[in-house]
């Protein structure tokens, strides 16, 4: 099995702060430059798994880079450069404390909510008579609060504005950007024979007040994809959809008695399972980008990252 990047401890001149998320580590420099490292950590049900997935960070970073570049004409984003396969450098923003989740289909969390008999999700009413993986008449936005620890929680548009989490004018801009990004993401996926089922976007505001798209977009960690071929037949027969997303990890955990609830023990992830997850991530990369995946040298990932970032900062 290849090396997996679980943590970084970079030495950077002018370091102002470091934030460690579930998957990413973000270094903020005094000149308001952000350096984001995509590690190989795997998070499911808001719990970080004890073992990493080889090449996952590289895959997420490179897909996100391609997608940010492919949407920069419709929504401004934070990205400046990618000096290393696992690294993005960009403009520092103060992030909004919500994730803009948008769903084109009744899948995942929305499907689980629907099966429980609930028809209201984040203040949005879901139609009666749907079966899992059916398309919604129009995509629905179901925001979530961003938790520092533990579970993100559903929240309605009305509560976001009422609680002052985001101003009404800013929230309307976030909604507009979310709809445009999902429409573009759907077009990109369709060209590759895929369906963009649902995804999430995160936004921040610069010191000058500009709203920018931040973090990753349209990756298997932030999105769910179905294969377009055979979708209608599987729906008609009530069969599960063939998908490329992190949902297969969630389903494996559920089948082994884990949903991130109190008192539940994490099942052991053996080497063959980890390798198979890595292969699924590579499969999505190649399907969504249309390019072969080129594995970066991982004999000493942290040293490689340190050198590439140092070289970039010296040049800029």
The dihedral region occupied by 263, where left means phi > 0, alpha psi between -120 and 50, and beta the remainder, is left
pLDDT digits (tens, 9 = 90+) for 75-126: 999 999 999 999 999 999 999 999 999 999 999 999 999 999 999 999 999 9
Q: For 202, what's the count of Cα atoms within 13 Å in the CB-facing half-sphere?
A: 19
> What is the average pLDDT across 186-204?
96
pLDDT digits (tens, 9 = 90+) for 42-84: 988 888 999 999 999 999 999 999 999 999 999 999 999 999 9
Residues 6+ apart with CB under 8 A from 245: 197, 220, 223, 224, 225, 284
Residue 309 has pLDDT above 80, yes or no: yes
Domain identity same for 119 and 87? no
Domain identity same for 71 and 116? no
Using pLDDT thresholds of 50, 70 and 90, give the confidence band for residue 151.
low
Q: What is the pLDDT of residue 148?
A: 60
Domain identity same for 87 and 215? no
Q: Is residue 149 part of a domain?
A: yes
Count of structural domains within the chain: 2
- CATH code assigned at 304: 3.30.200.20
Q: What is the pLDDT of residue 1?
A: 46
Domain identity same for 121 and 214? yes
Q: What is the pLDDT of residue 41?
A: 95
Helix (H, G, I), strand (E, B) or coil at 31: coil
Which of 245, 279, 299 marks a domain boundary?
245
Would you tell me how many other CB atoms lie within 10 Å of the CB of residue 51?
19
Domain identity same for 72 and 115? no
* Distances from the Cα of 158 to the Cα of 143, 146, 154, 171, 198, angstroms: 11, 17, 12, 10, 21
Average pLDDT along the chain? 93
Q: Is residue 122 part of a domain?
A: yes
Q: Is residue 278 part of a domain?
A: yes
Contact 56, 281 (CB under 8 A): yes
Domain identity same for 120 and 73? no
Q: Is residue 49 part of a domain?
A: yes
Using pLDDT thresholds of 50, 70 and 90, give the confidence band for residue 250.
confident
Range of the domain at 225: 95-245
Domain identity same for 46 and 173? no
Segments of the chain assigned E as strands: 15-20, 24-29, 33-38, 43-44, 47-48, 79-84, 87-91, 94-95, 98-105, 120-121, 124-125, 135-141, 144-145, 153-154, 194-205, 211-214, 223-227, 243-245
> What is the average pLDDT across 186-209?
96
Sign of the dihedral defined by the CA atoms of residues 296, 301, 303, 305, in that order: positive
pLDDT digits (tens, 9 = 90+) for 265-305: 899 899 999 999 999 889 889 999 999 999 999 989 999 99
Q: Is residue 10 part of a domain?
A: no
> What is the average pLDDT across 124-149?
92
Domain identity same for 239 and 212? yes
Using pLDDT thresholds of 50, 70 and 90, give the confidence band for residue 220.
confident
Q: Is residue 261 part of a domain?
A: no
Domain identity same for 100 and 238? yes
Q: What is the pLDDT of residue 243?
A: 82
Q: What is the pLDDT of residue 230?
A: 97
């Amino acid at each position: 099995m290849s090396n997996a990047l679980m943590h970084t401890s970079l030495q950077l001149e002018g370091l102002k702060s470091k934030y460690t998320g579930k998957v990413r580590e973000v270094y903020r420099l005094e000149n308001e430059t952000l350096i984001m490292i995509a590690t190989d950590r795997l998070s499911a049900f808001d719990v970080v798994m004890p073992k990493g997935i080889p090449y996952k960070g590289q895959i997420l970073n490179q897909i996100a880079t391609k997608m940010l570049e492919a949407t920069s004409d419709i929504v401004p984003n934070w990205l400046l450069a990618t000096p290393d396969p696992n690294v993005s450098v960009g403009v520092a923003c103060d992030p909004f404390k919500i994730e803009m989740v948008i769903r084109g289909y009744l899948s995942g969390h929305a499907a689980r909510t629907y099966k429980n008999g609930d028809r209201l999700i984040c203040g949005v009413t879901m139609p009666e008579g749907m079966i899992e993986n059916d398309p919604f008449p129009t995509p629905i936005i179901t925001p979530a609060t961003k938790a520092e620890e533990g579970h993100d929680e559903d929240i309605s548009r009305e509560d976001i504005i009422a609680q002052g989490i985001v101003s009404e004018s800013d929230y309307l801009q976030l909604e507009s950007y979310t709809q445009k990004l999902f429409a573009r993401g759907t077009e990109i996926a369709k060209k590759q024979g895929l369906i963009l089922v649902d995804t999430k976007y995160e936004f921040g505001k610069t010191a000058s007040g500009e709203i920018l798209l931040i973090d990753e977009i349209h990756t298997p960690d932030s999105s769910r994809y179905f294969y377009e071929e055979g979708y209608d037949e599987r729906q008609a027969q009530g069969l599960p959809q063939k998908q490329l997303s992190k949902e297969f990890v969630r389903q494996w955990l559920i089948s082994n008695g884990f949903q991130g609830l109190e008192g539940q023990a994490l099942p052991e992830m053996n080497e063959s399972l980890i390798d198979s997850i890595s292969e699924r991530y590579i499969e999505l990369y190649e399907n969504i980008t249309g390019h072969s995946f080129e594995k970066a040298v991982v004999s000493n990932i942290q040293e490689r990252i340190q050198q590439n970032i140092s070289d970039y900062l010296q040049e800029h």
